[in-house]
A = this chain, B = another copy of it.
């Protein structure tokens, strides 16, 4: 059974008898669902309302009739967990039913920049065109704008000229100006809808969207969703491999990214009661691979040294070229990639944190599957990317989970060797998320159960082996101690995964400091961006040697700085020029070809000595 889901128009396939809830699960993937279902799809809550727009489904059952008004049933409203498709159907998920991915970091600091957006709106009072006043609509608009705004050779876009009678009546109009070009014309006698821009942080796993009023700079709405490409490859490498497999694959990945941006835009505009066509400008900050996959640019060369981006230029495309039905003149601006593994999202982070204008010595980290590091050192900027792997995001950890409710995000060992666990939303523990794993390892290092080489002390009473000679594990929570949760262990291999990840970051840090000719003692400030970095316990990160051991007050945890940077570029042409200049200022340090890399990596593998 084909099911087409709106917004987005994506197709999923159901086995006979499966409910529409299953379609929502398929759409989201990864055990998530695109349809909100607080009761887990048992028909207890009545929240999973969808609208069947087209096609045959089972008649409404008694559960549905109990939750849905007859007038809504007539309109096709159904409960996704009860309704079964009997043939191809088109189903709309209304905004109140769409599920957001829980606890996704999208806040960031409020962007504080002087407004200088790429599009402006003017209201013009027109006089009728007559023989005595022989001025066309366009000429009158040009004159009015030129009277208050310094612009030369102002021109209307050909599609506007085509669509509008050039003679003017006695009325008011609102026009959109982009550079020297008029790109929109709307009636001026009605209340003005907001002039909208959208910033997108297009990550490998998560996509955050920010809807901004371009005239006030105000954030109107924000939302985070999973990158729908995840189903075709969880990490960058597997996704690039998939893209290289067949041109249709690359086209499909691009389609998914566009759909995701459209979906986000629809969610955000619906939330404020605005139209998609009100969006005049989009700014996308992405890592190089996501940037290329969105534009369907070649990615084969990203798989081998020297890891060349197809282009390192900032790119602007019309929204229509990406099949995004925003305002007719809408443009998509993509921040330039700097290198194969240092993307526009890293530039956005450097912009947002103002690291580029730091005096003295500042290190900036955006820790994830790839960790980008920037070093500002007396006016110069160095940057690199380390393959830290997904351990910090809870993957490659035996009981690792994403930052969902019930994920352990903090661990504290008490005197008797027991572990006190804190979970997201105080739910019974379901696993360890990245900050929880780092905390657990740090605590075990602190109490000496993990030695500097990373080995678990097999003699410790809470270290056990399932069978003699098998992999040891530390019991964080036994079956007896946890109500409604699972037993939790930290396995030897989990510790090793964290060790390798932090060694990669440490080696990158060493490479940048070597390039700048400084030592760790010279570092004065550390900025940590990104979701993982925001929830990271700094003392634990220092304890395991992931971050240099500066006093805690020297650190700033700035949240999703890439999204903030994208929003700054969205509302300010000055910031856009600045970020483009930044790209040429940064000295990119390629770790792959560096003969010293292995040495730095080995040095960074060790955990700091007890008491150090």
- A residues near B, CB below 8 A? 129-131, 134, 136, 138-139, 155-156, 158, 161-162, 164-167, 295-298, 300-301, 305-306, 308-313, 315, 317, 321, 590, 593
B296 touches A162 (CB 8 A): yes
Q: Which residue of B is nearest A166, CB measured?
A: B310
Query: Which B residues are CB-close (under 8 A) to A295?
Result: 158, 161-162
Task: Pick from B156, B165, B297, B306: contact of A129, CB below 8 A.
Answer: B306
B166 and A136: CB pair below 8 A? no
Contacting A308 at CB < 8 Å: which of B167, B297, B590? B167
Given contacts A136-B308, A138-B311, contact A162 B131 (CB under 8 A): no
Partner of A134, one of B130, B308, B317: B308
A158, A164, A305: residue with the most chain B Cβ atoms closer than 10 Å: A158
Neighbour of A161 across the interface among B129, B162, B297, CB < 8 A:
B297
- A134 in contact with B313 (CB, 8 Å): no
A172 CB, min distance to chain B CBs, angstroms: 20
Which B residues lie within 8 Å of A315 (CB)?
Answer: 158
Given A136-B311, A164-B298, output 17 extra A-B contacts at Cβ < 8 Å: A129-B301, A134-B306, A134-B308, A134-B590, A136-B308, A136-B309, A138-B310, A155-B311, A156-B311, A158-B317, A161-B295, A161-B298, A162-B296, A162-B297, A162-B298, A165-B301, A166-B311
Question: Contacts of A138 on B, CB cut-off 8 Å?
Answer: 310-311
Q: Give the interface SS of chain A, mostly helix, strand, loop or mixed.
A: loop
Q: How far is the CB of A224 from chain B (nearest CB, A)?
A: 27
A24 to B134, CA, bound (A): 45
Q: How far is the CA of A593 from the CA of B321 in the complex (A)?
A: 47
Bound state CA distance, A312 and B166, in angstroms? 11
Q: Are A313 and B155 in contact (CB under 8 A)?
A: yes
Contact A309 B134 (CB under 8 A): no
Could you name 7 residue pairs across A and B whose Cβ atoms are closer than 8 Å? A134-B590, A158-B315, A161-B295, A162-B297, A162-B310, A166-B298, A166-B308
Residues in chain B near residue A590, CB distance under 8 A: 134
Q: Are B301 and A166 in contact (CB under 8 A)?
A: yes
| Complex interface: chain B residues within 8 A of A297 (CB) | 161-162
In the complex, what residues of B have CB within 8 A of residue A593's CB? 131
Inter-chain contacts of A130 with B (CB < 8 A):
306
Cα distance A474–B134 in the bound complex, in angstroms: 47
Looking at the assembled complex, report how far the CB atom of A533 sits from the nearest CB atom of chain B, in whole angstroms: 30
Q: Which residues of B contact A312 (CB under 8 A)?
A: 139
Most chain B CB neighbours (cut-off 10 Å) among A297, A300, A306: A306
- Cβ of B156 and Cβ of A298 under 8 Å apart? no
Q: Which residues of B contact A309 (CB under 8 A)?
A: 136, 166
CA distance A538 to B310 in the complex (A): 64
Nearest-neighbor residue (CB-CB) of A590 within chain B: B134
Bound together, the chains give a CA A312 to CA B135 distance in angstroms of 11
Residue of B nearest to A299 (CB): B166
Q: Which residues of chain B are within 8 angstroms of A317 by Cβ–Cβ distance?
A: 158
Residues of B within 8 A of A155 (CB): 311, 313
